[in-house]
Structure 1
Amino acid sequence: MNMKYVWLILLASLSFFSHAAPKAELWLYWNKSNEANLQMIDHSEWQHVLDNNLSQQDSNTLFDYKHISPTDRQSLRDYINTLTNLDPRQFNKSEQFAYWVNLYNAATVQLILEHYPITSITKLGGLFSFGPWDQDIITINNQELSLNDIEHRILRPIWQDKRIHYAVNCASLGCPNLSTKAFTADNTPSLLKKAEFDFINSKKGVNITDDKLELSSIYDWYAVDFGGEQGVLNYLSRFKPEIQKINKKPSYQYNWALNEK
């Protein structure tokens, strides 16, 4: 095949993956819970890794991939193994939500560490893939799952909470920050509220200059979760009323650089 056409196909593929967002389509197998089960899942190992490797720089929370200790690497592996050896369907929905969010974030950090040094998570996933999100990376109950499965086939369709986009982290500067606290059934409401507030009030979330409105591409990719473009503007106006005075359509941006210390 002519190399010119190979590059055209490659560029088209990259363009598609950088702009297309998966739909929320329920994986019915995981939509089960035991609300009578009051058992709590232990997320202390994940909290330990976060405590030792996160730092704040301006509005960004950064992970120290370069200097993470062998002990913390092992703690991360042990934590992921512990979660994947559980059947989340046996827990109540509040425990499940924390389980899936923490697993998504821990697995993402693990992916970066396995391939570090890299400049962006988008470098992973193969020649014709924009990132690793469609790759099966964990197995639970003999079911292979990808990061996209967790976010778009479990979290979004089951909980139907737009703030999920502030909770899961894609290891990029443009993403809502990786939470410094491990999610638990008890702290989820406060962490979601804080993540929402922090992102909307950061320039990577909402940036207003003169009469121009620049939004994170999250509000473009997942506009359906916010009620469409007008729904996005109405929602953000609750936090920033000045948006209502802007007549121009918003532009969108996203920074895929690694959230590296």
Structure 2
Amino acid sequence: MVKTLLTALTTSLLLLSFTAFSAPKSELWAYWNSSNEANLQNVSHQSWQAFLDKYLVVDGDNTLIRYVRVSQNDKQQLKSYLSELASIDPRTLNKAEQYAYWVNLYNAITVELILDNYPVKSITKLGGLFSFGPWGDDVITITGQTLTLNDIEHRILRPIWNDPRTHYAVNCASLGCPNLQSQAFTSANTEALLERAANTFINSKKGVDINGDKATLSSIYDWFAKDFEAQGGIIAHMAKYNPKLTEFDGTIDYDYNWDLNKK
């Protein structure tokens, strides 16, 4: 009886944690909302690019990471890259450089978390006892401010740029997630990468799978529906990249695969 009650309590807490994760609000952390548009500095993401070139592979609709093959030296290089980013005050950069900085930081931290805990079946297994994943954990300190992955995505990227394509840029190390891009983001390639990522995801079955009068959409569109309102809603946004959705008038449900994006 006691074991049953504990199991039920644990399940309930995990469900609450999942609910908190599934629809975090876009709430600006004003501290980070400044820039120097006159600054022409380009932050180097070559170390991150070298990691992607070596360990990212394409497999059908997915890009996967060869976590098991990452050498100790390359793990250290990844940590050094994150330390280099942490030594920069991103507020001194122009907005285009900032966007690339935050996206690459988010994605590199996520990969590091998996490597530090590998083997693991899903990123949702990380974090505290009653946490659904590590998104609320402190992961890096920049200019004396301690940040979580949730801070980077939901308090910086989403509210400052108000671009729903950000959901295709940040990667949660899961098969259901929009793919980790094979190129590091830079101020020069961000627009092209965002368009490519949106187009690829929306035209894959993990973005939308249409069977007759039923469409199964990624749960991203359920969790963050508000982010797409300015573009006329989810379907209007998706139809820009997948014209088949323009005339769709059936039922919609949502799904997401939390299995690790491993090769």
The interval holding the TM-score normalised by the smaller chain is over 0.9
Deviations 1:144-164 (A, max 9, x none): 000000000000000000000
Letter in 1 for 2:18: S
Q: 3-state SS of the aligned residue for 1:11?
A: helix
Q: 3-state SS of the aligned residue for 1:137?
A: strand
Comparing 159-168 and 19-28, the one that deviates more: 19-28
Aligned residue number for residue 12 of structure 1: 12
In the TM superposition, what is the alpha-carbon distance from 1:245 to its structure 2 partner? 3.6
Aligned residue number for residue 164 of structure 1: 166
Q: Given the alignment, which residue of 129, 132, 142 partners 1:130?
A: 132
After TM superposition, list the pairs within 5 Å mapping 1:55-204 onto structure 2: 55-204=57-206
Letter in 2 for 1:124: L
In the TM superposition, what is the alpha-carbon distance from 1:117 to its structure 2 partner? 0.4
In the TM superposition, what is the alpha-carbon distance from 1:60 to its structure 2 partner? 0.4
Answer yes or no: is the 8 Å Cα contact 2:17–2:130 preserved in 1: no
Letter in 2 for 1:53: Y
In the TM superposition, what is the alpha-carbon distance from 1:233 to its structure 2 partner? 1.4
Answer yes or no: is the 8 Å Cα contact 1:33–1:93 preserved in 2: yes
Identity %: 55
Q: Given the alignment, which residue of 237, 241, 244 partners 1:235?
A: 237
Letter in 1 for 2:61: S
Aligned residue number for residue 49 of structure 2: 47
Partners of 1:229 and 1:252 in 2: CA distance = 20
Q: 1:228 to 1:93 in 2, by over 3 A?
A: closer
Partners of 2:72 and 2:153 in 1: CA distance = 29
In the TM superposition, what is the alpha-carbon distance from 1:114 to its structure 2 partner? 0.4
Q: 3-state SS of the aligned residue for 1:250?
A: strand
Aligned residue number for residue 226 of structure 1: 228
Q: 1:18 to 1:230 in 2, by over 3 A?
A: farther
Deviations 1:55-78 (A, max 9, x none): 010010000100112221111011
Aligned length: 261
Aligned residue number for residue 22 of structure 1: 24
Comparing 194-203 and 222-231, the one that deviates more: 222-231
Q: 1:76 to 1:30 in 2, by over 3 A?
A: same
TM-score in terms of structure 1 length? 0.96
Letter in 2 for 1:7: T
Comparing 18-27 and 112-121, the one that deviates more: 18-27
Deviations 1:176-211 (A, max 9, x none): 000100000000010001000000011000111121
Answer yes or no: is the 8 Å Cα contact 1:223–1:229 preserved in 2: no
Partners of 2:250 and 2:13 in 1: CA distance = 30
Deviations 1:119-162 (A, max 9, x none): 00000012210000000010001110000000000000000000
Answer yes or no: is the 8 Å Cα contact 1:213–1:243 preserved in 2: no
Q: 3-state SS of the aligned residue for 1:144?
A: strand
Comparing 10-19 and 212-221, the one that deviates more: 10-19
Answer yes or no: is the 8 Å Cα contact 1:220–1:229 preserved in 2: no
Deviations 1:75-102 (A, max 9, x none): 1011000000110001100000000000
Partners of 1:228 and 1:93 in 2: CA distance = 21
RMSD, aligned α-carbons: 1.6
The yes-or-no answer on 1:248 pairing with 2:250 is yes
Comparing 116-125 and 10-19, the one that deviates more: 10-19
In the TM superposition, what is the alpha-carbon distance from 1:7 to its structure 2 partner? 2.4
Partners of 1:21 and 1:28 in 2: CA distance = 21
In the TM superposition, what is the alpha-carbon distance from 1:229 to its structure 2 partner? 11
Q: Given the alignment, which residue of 212, 216, 226 partners 1:210?
A: 212
Partners of 2:16 and 2:232 in 1: CA distance = 24
Give unpaired runs (5+ residues) of structure 2: none
Partners of 1:215 and 1:78 in 2: CA distance = 38
Q: 1:86 to 1:228 in 2, by over 3 A?
A: closer
